[in-house]
């Protein structure tokens, strides 16, 4: 396909760029972290959103080298912000299943940290619920390895996969990210609100901080805060922005 062909040269032609979306600490109103989101600036196609190419990159295996670039670039940017004297917050990277399952992944993470000079505690890896539920024992082993190295771990898109509650407690997780579909439906009916309340309780009992995704309104913020959600991410606070604009958000927060 067209995407597949162009994707082959995208890395060497430096067509990828990271955007960043902040998440805000409900208690302090300050930036609590930044999620790196991949963008592809293709000369002929224009700005291509991840929905259009991540799937293709997964199928062709190209996601492995792209993911490695994302990891390194996110670490490099985080370190550059720190060196500029900006507030130190973790930068979160989305990890695809294919990337995570490859034998050298833990070493790759270590490599990105060493090459950039970023302390491990400022790198956060977002693993989707569906990734974590395949080959659970292998996933737990790799997570424990990463965790021992100081990296933070999140379960992303929580609620959309098929988490076994008996496994959930065995994953060494720092954050649980409530999928935005639950936030969207949360205030429409009683079950919607109860589900989100239960996810917050469950996440806290697992020792996680809770991040609500896709927060777009003040009413949603109000309900989430009332129910004890720790951090919010979504268009209400900010859309994903360029690295430069993200640096300005940090600067405003210092």
Task: Give the interface with ligand G as residue ranges (CB under 6 A).
Answer: 21, 37-38, 49-51, 54, 67, 70, 94, 96, 156-157, 180, 213-216, 234-235, 240
Is the Cβ of residue 39 or residue 145 nearer to Na ion in the bound state? 39
Instruction: Tell me the per-residue interface mask from 131 to 160 with Mn ion, x by CB under 5 A, - otherwise.
Output: -------------------------x----
Cα–Cα distance measured from residue 112 to residue 118, given in angstroms and rounded to the nearest whole number: 8
> What is the DSSP code (8-state) at residue 217?
S
Round to whole Å and give the CA distance between 219 and 91. Answer: 27
The residue sitting closest to ligand G, measured at its beta carbon, is 234
Can you tell me which of 126, 129, 230, 231 binds Mn ion, judged by CB under 5 A? 126
Q: Are 123 and 151 in contact (CB under 8 A)?
A: yes
Within 8 A by CB and 6+ apart from 167, the residues are 132, 133, 136
Q: How far is the CB of 37 from ligand G (least distance, A)?
A: 4
The one among 35, 68, 124, 156 contacting Na ion by CB under 5 A: 156
**Residues whose CB is less than 8 angstroms from the CB of residue 208 and which lie 6 or more positions away in sequence, other chains included:** 155, 173, 174, 175, 176
**Of 21, 42, 94, 233, which lies in the binding site for Mn ion, with binding defined by CB under 5 A?**
94
Part in contact with Na ion (CB under 5 A); list of ranges 52-60, 74-82, 152-160, 183-191: 152-160
Burial of 241 (0-12, 13-18, 19+ CB in 10 A): middle
Site residues (vs Mn ion, CB under 5 A):
94, 126, 156
């Amino acid at each position: 396909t067209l995407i597949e062909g162009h994707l082959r040269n995208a890395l060497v032609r430096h067509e990828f760029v990271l955007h960043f979306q902040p998440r805000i600490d409900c208690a302090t109103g300050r930036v609590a972290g930044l999620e790196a989101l991949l963008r592809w600036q293709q000369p002929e196609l224009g700005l291509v959103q991840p929905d259009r190419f991540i799937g293709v990159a997964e199928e062709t295996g190209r996601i492995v080298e792209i993911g490695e670039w994302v990891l390194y670039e996110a670490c490099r940017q985080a370190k550059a912000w720190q060196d500029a004297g900006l507030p130190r917050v973790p930068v979160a990277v989305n990890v695809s299943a294919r990337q995570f399952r490859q034998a050298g992944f833990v070493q790759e993470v270590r490599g990105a940290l060493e090459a950039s000079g970023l302390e491990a505690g400022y790198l956060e890896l977002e693993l989707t619920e569906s990734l974590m539920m395949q080959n659970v024992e292998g996933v737990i082993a790799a997570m424990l390895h990463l965790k021992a190295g100081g990296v933070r771990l999140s379960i992303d898109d929580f609620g959309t996969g098929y988490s076994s509650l008996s496994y959930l407690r065995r994953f060494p997780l720092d954050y649980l990210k409530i999928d935005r579909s639950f936030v969207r439906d949360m205030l429409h009916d009683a079950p919607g609100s109860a589900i989100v309340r239960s996810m917050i309780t469950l996440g806290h009992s697992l020792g996680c901080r809770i991040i609500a995704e896709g927060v777009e309104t003040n009413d949603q913020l109000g309900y989430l805060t009332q129910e004890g959600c720790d951090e919010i991410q979504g268009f209400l606070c900010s859309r994903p922005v360029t690295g430069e604009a993200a640096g300005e958000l940090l600067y405003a927060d210092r």
